[in-house]
Amino acid sequence: MSRAREARQIRRAKQFAKFKVTELNLVPLVDTFVSIVFFALTTTTVGELAPVVPGVTLPQSSVGMSALSQLTLGVGANVTIANRQVMTTAEAASSASDDPRQPLKIPVLYRTLKTMSDSMRASRGLSPDEDFKFPLAIQGDRTMRYDLLSRFMATARLAGFRQISLQVQRTELHTNAPSGP
């Protein structure tokens, strides 16, 4: 090959070097994109983006049984059953269980609830082994701790109450819809 021809090929190779096809490795790009999506999804604030989490069925508020057809356990400064004071909330929180197999049991509350469930069974003609379906409503103060609520519920179940509901104060539904014509 002549010198002139070689020089021309070198010049052309330099000219077209910018048009040379290069490989693009997509694996690091996809890994980076997946990492960004993962961190974006795990760090979002649930309340702002999704008011209702998918897969969770929220309870409906409705007018249920009248308060006279169920036993009410009130938890405020004092623990009351059917408007009779049983103990203070501080005593309930600090009381230790008398049964090592039931660490959440509150003994004084258990005895009171057991007496009530036994008298209700007797008034309905049920034996101690039969299923007892009398509802118990727990009205808890908004400052009540969840660990104490779980102890109240466990004690009520041990005393024979299987239908336990939690009561809240009913308020009107507020919408953000604009008012006017």
pLDDT at 133: 78
Residues in the chain: 181
More confident: 53 or 170? 170
For the full predicted model, state whether its pTM sits above 0.75: no
Q: Each residue of 11-34: pLDDT tens digit?
A: 888 887 777 666 777 888 889 989
- Name the band, by pLDDT with cuts 50, 70 and 90, for residue 55: low
3-state secondary structure of 29: helix
Q: Which range is least confidently modeled, 21-25, 52-56, 68-72?
A: 52-56
Q: Each residue of 114-172: pLDDT tens digit?
A: 888 888 888 888 877 777 778 888 887 777 888 888 899 999 888 888 888 887 665 55
Cα 109 to Cα 19, 68, 77, 80, 157, distances in angstroms: 85, 21, 15, 9, 12
Q: Each residue of 79-114: pLDDT tens digit?
A: 888 778 888 888 888 888 888 888 889 999 999 988
> Could you report how far apart the first and last alpha carbons of the chain are, in Å?
91
Up-side HSE of residue 59: CA atoms within 13 Å toward CB? Answer: 8
pLDDT at 144: 80
How buried is residue 117: exposed, middle or buried, by Cβ count under 10 Å (0-12/13-18/19+)? buried
pLDDT at 116: 87
Which residue blocks in the chain are alpha helix, DSSP H? 3-16, 27-42, 46-49, 89-94, 107-124, 146-158
d(CA 90, CA 173) in angstroms, rounded, equals 34
Q: What is the 3-state secondary structure (H, E, C) of 125-150?
A: CCCCCCCCCCCEEEEECCCCCHHHHH
pLDDT at 2: 84
pLDDT at 53: 45
DSSP state of 69: G
Report, as an integer, the average pLDDT of 28-50.
73
pLDDT at 18: 72
